[in-house]
Amino acid sequence: MVSDGTVFAGYTIDRQLGRGGMGSVYLARHPRLPRWTALKLLNRELFSDKEIRARFEREADLVAQLDHPNIVTVFDRGVEGDQLWISMQYIDGIDASSLDPHSLPPDRALQIIGETAAALDYAHRAGVLHRDVKPANILLARSSSQERVYLTDFGIARLRDDSGHLTETGSFTATLAYAAPEQLTGAALDHRADQYSLACTLYTLLTGSAPYESSSPAAVITGHLQSPPPPVSPRRAGLPPVLDAVMARALAKRPADRFTSCEEFVDAAQRAVRTGTTGARALARPTSGAHSQPAVNMAPMPPMRPVSSTGTPIPQYNPAPMPPPMPQPQYAPRPQYWQQPAMTPNPPPQSGGWGSVLGTYAIMFVVVIVIAGVIALLANL
């Protein structure tokens, strides 16, 4: 242990921040820049262990390649005497394991897990697996405006495609309560192992205990390998039962049965919580391209009551009944143009009757007079 005020590798030690199985973390002042850093030192008694030294150095090398707002930044690393050290970004806050799950709102728990999922997916795209996701490795920075989440401690992380394993066959270094089944059996790991651990972490933040928590390590291992995921909704009032299916998928024994990414898991959990707490139902998507609307039989609405500007009903308001509507005059329907009677031509005049006989005689009389006049004129010639 390094005493307060000691200068180590140029850094002035202020105080110890925490201690783990591999070393300790101190708050230290940068030797040249006006800022505080988190200085992680490997225990002296472990310096001779080549595997642990390689793992410790690998943490700095891996995280130095990652540039993400939710991942603690590594500034430098080196050796001082018989101790390895890593200089990292100092996060002024707490870790998620110190939160009280009984007073932690589910929305805030999902926000913490959501930012952690973004960091994990970014690391996975870079080919890096964390392999030890748990509440103690999630840091929460104090801020006047909003909370900032950081993922730290990539101490047992390794490149996904790296063939040089840093742990001996059969050894296990991840935290047992949050380990994926494939980590316990020594099977090949991919990004879905971190998703399983992230789901265990969310389970802990919501209920206060891990899914298979027990004082017996054998019971914990048996739970991860054989027991179905315990529902989360019965362990905390107010959680919707639809969340159980989301958690069961993320905690599936087979990696192929889990979500494709950590953020997909968090999105499904957030939708489940919103749906279960607000009672909103998902809209049915039309099966065809047309947005058809179903027929709705609406019940008659009650009479409206006036309210004041503050939204409170105005008392003693009795709406007067509406007078019956005035009777409207009834008009015979006017036929449309296609309903007009067809036009028929006038019938030809009918022959016969006394009028037609007298006319015939008058014509014959005129003809006789004209003929007689013509004969008399010819005789005088």
Q: How many CA within 13 A on the CB side of residue 264?
A: 10
Six token digits for residue 169: 């066959």
Question: From the candidates 95, 121, 132, 153, which is the catalytic residue?
Answer: 132
DSSP state of 212: T
Q: Which bin fits 133, alpha (ψ -120 to 50), beta or left (φ > 0)?
A: beta
Q: Which amino acid is at 371?
A: I
Helix ranges restricted to H, 208-261: 217-225, 242-250
Distances (CA, A) of 207 to 212, 219, 356: 12, 19, 120
Contact 71, 151 (CB under 8 A): yes
Which residues are paired to 19 by β-bridges? 24
Angle made by CA atoms 58, 62, 67, in degrees to the nearest 5: 155
- Based on the residue annotation, tell me whether 132 is a catalytic residue of this protein: yes
Contact 56, 95 (CB under 8 A): no
DSSP state of 130: -
Return the H-helix or E-strand segment holding 31. Answer: none
Q: Of 96, 311, 122, which is closest to residue 201 (Cα–Cα)?
A: 96
CA-CA-CA-CA dihedral for 210, 212, 215, 220, to nearest 10: -130
Residues serving a catalytic function are: 132
